[in-house]
Structure 1
Amino acid sequence: MIARLFAVVLFALSLGACAEPPYTNVDNAKLKELLAQGVPLYDIRLPEEWRQTGVVEGSRKLTFFDAAGRTNPEFLPRFSAEVDKNAPVVLICRSGNRTDAAARELAKMGYTQVYNVRNGINRWMSDNNPVIRN
């Protein structure tokens, strides 16, 4: 009985993992379009990562997870003060994993136009796009 219940739970979880994310994934070409339209880009990595690689010009730097993997308690209050729930916003991290978590959290809070840069700053730089260091 317990084994069957466990199998049902695993099946249900696997179905949820296949569901469409509550945000839109974008590539570098679409990111450039959004930036040209004035859509804000939030780089949610750690400060040492910003120093290490640089950031996309115009990025707003706001860490989502700390080094221990905990949500930065300053993220949601600052983000919600800066971004309207119905306004478009783009998130970028190193590879797209942290932005997946952040975008899902923002969608739960009612944000309707969240964009995730697929493959993050890694792909941005591997495609020879510029970064700035500050």
Structure 2
Amino acid sequence: MIFRLFVFVLFVLTLGGCAEPPYTNVDNAQLKALLAQGVPLYDIRRPDEWRQSGVVEGGRKLTYVDASGRPNPEFLSRFTAEVDKNAPVVLICRTGSRSDSLARELAEMGYTQVYNVRNGITRWISEGNPVARL
């Protein structure tokens, strides 16, 4: 009986790990379509990263966390003032990891149309897409 319970709990936990994220991952083609529709793109990297690789043209720059992983104290107040919870918004970082974390956080806060650029600006650049240099 205990073994069956253990197997059931393990099964339920495994299913939870396979659940779809509460936001939408997009590739570069989908990002281009969203940008064409006027959906704002937030580049959540740090200023040194923006200078190093450039940014997607028209992207809004707003640092989410510093190099040590500490949250930018201005991020949440500025983001919530600029983006309505029911409006679409796209997030991008270097590889998609920080934007993934932020997308989850925003969905938990009630944002309903959050898009995460899978593989970040690294893939954007490697596929030959243009960037604006700072």
Within 2, Cα distance between the matches of 1:61 and 1:48? 12
**In the alignment, what sits opposite 2:133?**
133
Choose 1 or 2 for highest CA Rg: 2
| 1:90 match: secondary structure | strand
Q: Judging changes above 3 Å, is the alpha-carbon distance between structure 1 residues 76 and 13 closer, same or farther for their aligned structure 2 residues?
A: farther
TM-score normalised by structure 1 residue count: 0.89
How far did residue 71 of structure 1 move?
1.5
Q: Which amino acid aligns with 2:77?
A: P
What is the root-mean-square deviation of aligned Cα atoms in Å? 1.9
What one-letter code is carried by the residue in structure 2 that aligns with 1:118? R
Shift of 1:112: 0.1
Cross-structure match for 1:24: 24
Write the distance in 1 (CA, Å) between the matches of 2:20 and 2:38: 26
State the match for 2:40 in structure 1: 40
Q: 1:16 and 1:128, CA in 2 relative to 1: closer, same or farther beyond 3 A?
A: same
1:19 CA drift (Å): 1.4
**Where in structure 2 are the equivalents of 1:1-134 lying within 5 Å?**
14-134=14-134
Whole-Å separation in 2 of the counterparts to 1:78 and 1:10: 41
Gaps of 5+ in 2: 1-6
Q: Give the 3 Å change call, closer, same or farther, for CA 10–26 of structure 1 in structure 2.
A: same
What secondary structure, in the 3-state scheme, does the structure 2 residue paired with 1:116 have?
Answer: strand
Percent identity over the alignment?
77
Q: 1:95 to 1:10 in 2, by over 3 A?
A: farther
Shift of 1:132: 0.5
Counterpart CA distance in 1 for 2:84 and 2:12 is 34
Give the TM-score, by structure 2 length.
0.89
Say how many residue pairs are matched. 130
